């Protein structure tokens, strides 16, 4: 059985992500208590469900035991993957205020911001167990697209191998839009030559030939790329030994359009030769999602 756990902070987009799995043919369960997870295989056996996605939130009974429960499921031969959705405090406060929803942990004595902080503390042990996504700057459409891409990569890896695998996730972003919460490492490339100041190059992005040619001709860019590659290669074995499933590397420039996009593409292609790699361009994907019709 293939089991996906969708968890994270309230208001971060768990319902949106779960619907993506439901639309893709997964048997989905919303807000299952963590203590029932060990019985999930027998529960879905009569439904002939080979692919299952379950949403678990902070209200779940014994949420603190979820890490050990997931490890038990893996020893039973179940392919378990966890998607953890996160967002900045200010973003979550705004979302709850706009929708007029009540936070699940709110009390008459506790303000909304305090409830969010309380929930973050309750879930703090889960954020590094799987794929951590910061949805602060993602529209619903962009989150759907990223969830589909992650789901497709999971399915390409089935059946699971016995050896431990680690997925390298590279994300480009613009510092003016904030540092992604899900990044384990952040490299600042704003000191590199900026194509934005050339009116001819400005409309292009780092995936396109004019920007690539411009940056490939700059020695500083090649040196920065080599240094980042060396750093990741040096420390990657320690993350394998720590049994990490995902390692997210953020590359940031000013607007997230040119330099960071180019370097993420180059680094992704380099490490893809020997590792599983995911590439995400936060600002480009958000612009594309905003331009596309809502799905």
Strands (E), the chain: 2-8, 27-30, 51-55, 79-86, 131-134, 167-174, 185-188, 246-253, 276-281
Domain with CATH 3.40.50.300 in the chain: 1-160
The pTM assigned to this predicted structure is 0.78
Three-class SS of residue 112? helix
What is the predicted pLDDT for the residue at 108?
85
Per-residue pLDDT averaged across 230-258, rounded? 92
More confident call, 196 vs 71? 196
Return the sign of the alpha-carbon dihedral for residues 167, 168, 173, 178: positive
How many Å apart are CA 194 and CA 118, to the nearest integer? 41
Question: CB of 83 within 8 A of CB of 55?
Answer: no
What is the predicted pLDDT for the residue at 225?
98
Per residue in 3-29, pLDDT tens?
Answer: 999 999 999 999 999 999 999 999 999
Which residue in 174, 169, 187, 185 sits closest to 251, CA to CA? 187
Q: Which CATH number fits domain 1-160: 3.40.50.2300, 3.30.420.40, 3.40.50.720, 3.40.50.300?
A: 3.40.50.300
How many Å apart are CA 36 and CA 97, to the nearest integer? 33
Per residue in 196-242, pLDDT tens?
Answer: 999 999 999 999 999 999 999 999 999 999 999 999 999 999 988 88
Per residue in 72-87, pLDDT tens?
Answer: 888 888 889 999 999 9
How many Å apart are CA 132 and CA 81, to the nearest integer? 11
What is the predicted pLDDT for the residue at 44?
76
Q: How confident is the model at residue 161 (pLDDT cuts 50, 70, 90)?
A: very low
How many Å apart are CA 11 and CA 18, to the nearest integer? 13
Which residue in 77, 59, 73, 187 sits closest to 129, CA to CA? 73
User: Which of 26-30, 110-114, 128-132, 287-291 shows the lowest mean pLDDT across its residues?
Assistant: 287-291
């Amino acid at each position: 059985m293939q089991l996906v756990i969708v968890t994270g902070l309230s208001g971060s987009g768990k319902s949106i992500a779960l619907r993506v799995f439901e639309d893709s043919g997964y048997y989905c369960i919303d807000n299952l208590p963590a203590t029932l997870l060990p019985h999930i295989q027998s529960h879905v056996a009569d439904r002939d469900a080979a692919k299952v996605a379950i949403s678990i939130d902070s209200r779940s009974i014994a949420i603190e035991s979820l890490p050990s429960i997931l490890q038990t499921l893996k020893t039973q031969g179940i392919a378990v993957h966890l998607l953890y959705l996160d967002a900045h405090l200010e973003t979550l406060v705004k979302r709850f205020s706009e929708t007029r929803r009540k936070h699940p942990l709110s009390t008459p004595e506790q303000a909304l911001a305090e409830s969010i902080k309380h929930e973050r503390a309750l879930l703090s042990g889960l954020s590094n167990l799987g794929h951590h996504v910061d949805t602060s700057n993602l529209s619903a459409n962009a989150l759907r697209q990223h969830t589909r891409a992650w789901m497709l990569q999971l399915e390409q890896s089935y059946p699971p191998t016995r050896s431990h695998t680690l997925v390298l996730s590279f994300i480009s972003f613009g510092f003016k839009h904030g540092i992604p919460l899900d990044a384990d490492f952040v490299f600042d490339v704003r000191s590199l030559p900026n194509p934005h100041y050339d009116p001819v190059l400005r409309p292009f992005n780092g995936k396109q030939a004019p920007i690539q040619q411009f940056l490939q001709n700059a020695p500083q860019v090649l040196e920065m790329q080599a240094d980042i590659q060396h750093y990741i290669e040096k420390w990657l074995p320690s993350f394998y030994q720590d049994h990490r499933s995902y390692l997210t590397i953020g590359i940031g420039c000013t607007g997230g359009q040119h330099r960071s996009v180019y370097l993420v593409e180059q680094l992704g292609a380099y490490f893809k030769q020997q590792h599983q790699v995911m590439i995400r361009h936060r600002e480009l994907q958000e612009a594309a999602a905003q331009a596309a019709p809502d799905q």
